[in-house]
Each structure stands twice: as C-alpha cells, then as structure tokens.
C-alpha cells in the first residue's frame, strides 16, 4: 500500500532596507522604525510535506549554520499556524536556502513567511491574508514584508506595512560575509553609540521621491541606514567592502538592515556583475551575488504528490 502525500513548495524573497530610520529604544525593548523595504530576487524555498514525524531539514550555502530545533522560525511558524487553525502540526519542512544566513536580508523571516503560506495551503486553514500577516508579525518584525514583497514602508517594529510607489527595476551586487551579525547586538550597539532621536521616525523623503520617479541615480544617492554605524563598529572590515563597491561605480552603497551584507546599487544587470567581481577581486566579501528588485512576496511555486509507504 502506498499513501499519496501532497507536498507544497513556496518561495519567499530576501529584502534590502533602502532606507532605515531608527528611533529611540522603547520600554518593550524594540525600536520604532520607518523603513523602506524592497524585495529582491534571492529566495528561500520551503517544501512542506505531511508527516507523522514532524521535523526540519536544510540545504544550500551556510545550511549548517541554521538551527533545526524548535527555535527555527519556520518551525515556529508552522506551530503558530497549527495552533491558530486548531490542527495538528504534523508536517516536515525542508528549507532550501538562497538568502545569506544572519546577513541582514531577512532570510529567516522569508522562511517563516514561506512556511506560513505552505502550511496554510497544505492544511486548507482558510486564513485570510490579514490573519497570516498578524501571525507573521508575532514571529518577527520582517515576516509580514516577506509575505507581501514588492516595495513597502514599514513602521512600528517594521511590521506595519503600507505600499510604496516605485517605478523601474533596480540591480544589486551583494557582498556576503561568512561571519553573520546578531540583530539584537547591532541594536544594542546602536543604543550605545547613537541612541536614536525621540519621536516617530519618518521615511526619507528624497528616497520616496526618487523611487516614485524611478531614478536609480537619485535612489542610490538617497540610500540610508541608521544601523550602519553600529554594524561597522562590530564589523569594521565592512568599510572596505563599501569603498570597493563605490569605486566600482555603484550608484549607492549601504549595509543591508543589521548587516553584514553590503548592498551596492548598480546601473544595470551587467554593471552589477562588474561590481560583484570587483568585491571578489579585492577580497572584501566571502561570497557575492547579484539580485534585482522589486519582486513579489511569498507564493506557491508547486505542489506535487509524493508517495510514502511500502509500495
């Protein structure tokens, strides 16, 4: 006898914070943000298969650095959804990683978003989009954006999203480091060296205008990340990565989110390859990738029928 098991595969994108304005630490430990997210074409792929022995496997570069215990955000997503929907979390998840681990590009959040969408499809929970966004926000500040993708302004912890007008396509060269940075540690360093200003931060106006007009040069000039000084304090060698990318003609360079990935905006896809090659040649990144944005959020890329049993 063999049993037919549907396997659902969902992919979710990485993000770059084109602008990240950070306010003073709040009583709950979080910082109020005004960020402009762009989803880019590096993806996490999550395959969910029904299983009596729930668990998690991981493949791809840096897979060995991803926890496979109950702290894994994708597993937590499956459990949270199961609890909300009143079903048993009898699922095996496989993560195929395409986003740098602990790189400031929300790879773990993309895993959680993809797991939510995959398990939702598998279990037919009938959750609304808003309910999935709420569950996403419980899991992490960047998870709701990985669900929606494209370009959006994030407020609050970064989880309150509103769509942002953006024209054109943007090409990026990404300088990746083997050694990741811890997001809480970067925020703590931010508290020590800058502290942030009181009140609600606002998204950068020049950046919003540049995105509306679809002008990559103006977008490049307006890229801004308040966490960058803290990331550079913890990883001073990133300064060289930024300089090399700039000297290779990037329109703008910055540390992505809490780092350590360096994102360099290029003039074209071909120019992104040139900037990436310059980072490799100068030995200022352990790995490089090229990506384009904006792209869509978490979506189903396949569902197949696997066979289990003695046959």
Kindly list the residues in this chain that would bind ligand C5P in the complex (CB under 6 A): 29-31, 33, 140-142, 157-158, 183-184, 187
- Considering the candidates 111, 120, 142, 204, report the single residue annotated as catalytic: 142
Would residue 43 be called left, alpha or beta, if left means φ above 0 and alpha means ψ between -120 and 50 degrees? beta
| Minimum CB–partner distance for residue 43 and ligand C5P (Å) | 19
Give first-to-last CA distance, the chain, whole Å: 5
Structure tokens at 87: 């079903």
227 phi, psi to nearest 5 deg: -85, -10
| Minimum CB–partner distance for residue 149 and ligand C5P (Å) | 17
The total of other beta-carbon atoms located within 10 Å of residue 163's CB is 10
| Minimum CB–partner distance for residue 303 and ligand C5P (Å) | 29
Alpha-carbon span 103 to 259, nearest angstrom: 5
Question: Looking at beta carbons only, is 160 or 300 nearer to ligand C5P?
Answer: 160
Alpha-carbon span 141 to 33, nearest angstrom: 10
Alpha-carbon span 132 to 128, nearest angstrom: 6
- Considering the candidates 15, 97, 111, 120, report the single residue annotated as catalytic: 15
| Minimum CB–partner distance for residue 285 and ligand C5P (Å) | 24
Annotated catalytic residue 97: no
Provide DSSP, 137-150.
HHH-TTHHHHHHBS
Alpha-carbon span 226 to 88, nearest angstrom: 42
| Minimum CB–partner distance for residue 186 and ligand C5P (Å) | 8
Question: Looking at beta carbons only, is 72 or 141 nearer to ligand C5P?
Answer: 141
Structure tokens at 61: 């570069």
Burial (0-12, 13-18, 19+ Cβ within 10 Å), 138: middle
Provide DSSP, 56-109.
EEEESTTGGGS--STT-HHHHHHHHHHHHHT----EEEEEE--S-TTSSS-HHH
**CA-wise closest residue to 182 among 291, 121, 104:** 104
Question: Looking at beta carbons only, is 158 or 294 nearer to ligand C5P?
Answer: 158
CB 84 within 8 A of CB 48: no
Question: Looking at beta carbons only, is 201 or 216 nearer to ligand C5P?
Answer: 201
| Minimum CB–partner distance for residue 250 and ligand C5P (Å) | 27
Annotated catalytic residue 15: yes
Alpha-carbon span 297 to 118, nearest angstrom: 13
Question: Looking at beta carbons only, is 140 or 220 nearer to ligand C5P?
Answer: 140
Nearest residue to ligand C5P by CB is 141
Structure tokens at 174: 């990404």
Alpha-carbon span 117 to 12, nearest angstrom: 9
Question: Looking at beta carbons only, is 11 or 15 nearer to ligand C5P?
Answer: 15
Active-site residues, by number, are 15, 142
């Amino acid at each position: 006898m063999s049993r037919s098991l549907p396997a659902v595969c969902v992919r979710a994108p990485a993000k770059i914070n084109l602008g990240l304005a950070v306010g003073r630490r709040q009583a709950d430990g979080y910082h109020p943000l005004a960020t402009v997210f762009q989803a880019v074409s590096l993806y996490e792929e999550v395959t969910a298969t029904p299983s009596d022995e729930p668990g998690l496997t991981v493949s791809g570069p840096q897979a060995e650095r991803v926890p496979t215990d109950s702290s894994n955000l994708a597993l937590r997503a499956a459990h949270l959804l199961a609890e909300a929907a009143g079903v048993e979390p009898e699922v095996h998840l496989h993560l195929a990683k395409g986003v740098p681990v602990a790189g400031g590009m929300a790879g773990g959040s993309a895993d959680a978003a993809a797991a939510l969408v995959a398990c939702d499809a598998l279990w037919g929970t009938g959750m609304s989009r808003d309910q999935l966004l709420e569950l996403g926000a419980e899991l992490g500040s960047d998870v709701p954006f990985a669900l929606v993708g494209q370009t959006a302004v994030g407020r609050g912890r970064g989880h309150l999203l509103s769509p942002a007008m953006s024209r054109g396509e943007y090409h990026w060269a990404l300088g990746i480091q083997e050694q990741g940075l811890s997001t809480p540690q970067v925020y703590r360093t931010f508290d020590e060296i800058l502290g942030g200003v009181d009140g609600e931060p606002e998204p950068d106006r020049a950046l919003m205008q540049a995105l509306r007009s679809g002008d990559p040069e103006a977008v490049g000039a307006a890229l801004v990340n308040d966490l960058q000084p803290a990331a550079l304090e913890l990883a001073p060698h990133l300064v060289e990565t930024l300089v090399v990318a700039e000297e290779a003609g990037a329109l703008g360079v910055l540390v992505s989110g809490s780092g350590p990935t360096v994102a360099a905006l290029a003039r074209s896809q071909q120019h992104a390859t040139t900037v990436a090659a310059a980072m490799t040649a100068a030995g200022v990144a352990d790995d490089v990738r090229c990506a384009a944005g904006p792209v869509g959020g978490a979506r189903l890329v396949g569902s197949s029928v696997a066979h289990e049993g003695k046959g």
